[in-house]
Structure 1
Amino acid sequence: MNRAQSWLLLYLLTVVGITFVHQAGWLAAGLGLALLAAGPARWRLLTRAVLALLLFNVSVSLAYALVAWWQARPVADVLLLMNLRVLLLVFLGFWLVDRIKLLEALAGWPLLAMIATLAIGQVAVYRRLLDDFRLAFRSRNPVSPTPVDLLRHAGAQGGALLDKSLHSADQVAQAMRSRGAFDA
């Protein structure tokens, strides 16, 4: 087992272990320990984790708080526990990706390595598409865009990403079908 595989195994065991922790204090201590262990990259990784979670966690937390209020149940402890757990898991995921080469960690499992390679390739394609949209939007808006302009741009960008996803899925399905992947 190489170093990257050891880190991946440790990460997977840690993720499973975190799901068994139901005390906010222990999760906060785990996050603090992870921040200390991450070294100089800690704040960059924490910022990425918080930004990645912001929209999702806020919407889920608000929905949960609304339902709990409607049912007259306490909400603060559950929300704290849930958000700490998710933040810790996402932080550890970003730290793992920052620390190891995923394809090296999956070297012993050819199928997983192939799937990871396909996923990494798709990430590169979509990152390029998003960069093109961002640069095009910036070049076409010499003044600060209005909120309506931002919404139109987001809609066009979302539509293009969806079209690209559907086209890619169709192409992959056709390639797999031609190679007998769907033959029973």
Structure 2
Amino acid sequence: MNRARAWLLAYVAAVVAISFIHQPVALAAGLAVALTAAGAARWRLLQRAALALLLVNASVSLAYAGLAWWQGRPLGDALLLINLRVLLLVFLGFWLVDRVRLLDALAGWPVLSMIATLALGQIAVYRRLLDDFRLAFRSRNPAPPSAAAMLRHAGAQAGSLLDKSLHDAEQAAQAMRSRGAFDA
């Protein structure tokens, strides 16, 4: 077994194990172990994980807090458990991506390699598109943009990404249909 595959299998085992842990102290200890084991990259990976989770976890936490308040239930332990678990899982995911080339880990599994190749290709396309939007916005706003301008830009960007996703999905479905993928 190659090293990349060993890391991938260790990651999958860790994800399964973490989903069975329901003690915030154990999750915090797991996060501390992961931070220590990540070495010099720990703070960069932790920052990426926290930024990736900021909006989603904040909205989920606020919704859960509102529901707990409305039902008169305590919420501290549950929110801590949810946020620690998700932070640990996302940190481990970023650490895996930082350490391992996914295609090397999936070598020998042709179907998974093909799916990963397609996914990585799509990630590259959308990353380039987002970079183009960012650069276009920067070039059209020599002064710091207003909040309204940033919202308009984000809306245009989201609409464009949605249109591209729908178009690409329709094209893929038509290509698969023409090759008999949906025939019963």
- Look up the equivalent residue of 1:48 and give its one-letter code: R
- Look up the equivalent residue of 2:34 and give its one-letter code: A
> 2:167 aligns to what?
167
> 1:111 aligns to what?
111
Give the distance between the partners of 1:64 and 1:11, measured in 2 at CA: 28
Give the distance between the partners of 2:183 and 2:102, measured in 1 at CA: 31
Task: Give the superposition deviation at 1:134.
Answer: 0.6
**Residue 11 in 1 paired to residue 11 in 2?**
yes
- Look up the equivalent residue of 1:18 and give its one-letter code: I
Task: Give the superposition deviation at 1:60.
Answer: 0.2
- Look up the equivalent residue of 1:68 and give its one-letter code: A
**Residue 122 in 1 paired to residue 145 in 2?**
no
> 1:70 aligns to what?
70
SS at match of 2:165: helix
Relative to the length of structure 2, the TM-score reads 0.98
Give the distance between the partners of 2:84 and 2:90, measured in 1 at CA: 10
Give the distance between the partners of 2:85 and 2:140, measured in 1 at CA: 42
Which runs of structure 2 are paired with 1:76-115 in the superposition (5 Å)? 76-115=76-115
Give the distance between the partners of 1:76 and 1:179, measured in 2 at CA: 53
Give ranges in structure 1 of 5+ residues lacking alignment. Answer: none
Task: Give the superposition deviation at 1:111.
Answer: 1.0
- Look up the equivalent residue of 1:54 and give its one-letter code: L
SS at match of 2:142: coil
Give the distance between the partners of 1:38 and 1:102, measured in 2 at CA: 18
Task: Give the superposition deviation at 1:108.
Answer: 2.1
Q: Alignment RMSD, CA only?
A: 0.7
- Look up the equivalent residue of 1:139 and give its one-letter code: S
- Look up the equivalent residue of 1:85 and give its one-letter code: R
Give the distance between the partners of 1:78 and 1:86, measured in 2 at CA: 12
> 2:59 aligns to what?
59
Q: Provide Cα deviations, 1:96-116, integer angstroms capped at 9, x if missing partner.
A: 011101011111211111111
> 1:30 aligns to what?
30
Mean CA deviation greater in 169-178 or 93-102: 169-178
> 2:132 aligns to what?
132
Q: Provide Cα deviations, 1:5-30, integer angstroms capped at 9, x if missing partner.
A: 11111110110000111111110000
**Residue 154 in 1 paired to residue 119 in 2?**
no
Q: Provide Cα deviations, 1:73-102, integer angstroms capped at 9, x if missing partner.
A: 000000001100000000000000111010
Give the distance between the partners of 2:142 and 2:17, measured in 1 at CA: 51
Give the distance between the partners of 1:14 and 1:122, measured in 2 at CA: 27
- Look up the equivalent residue of 1:90 and give its one-letter code: V
Give the distance between the partners of 1:174 and 1:118, measured in 2 at CA: 17
Give ranges in structure 2 of 5+ residues lacking alignment. Answer: none
Q: Percent identity over the alignment?
A: 75
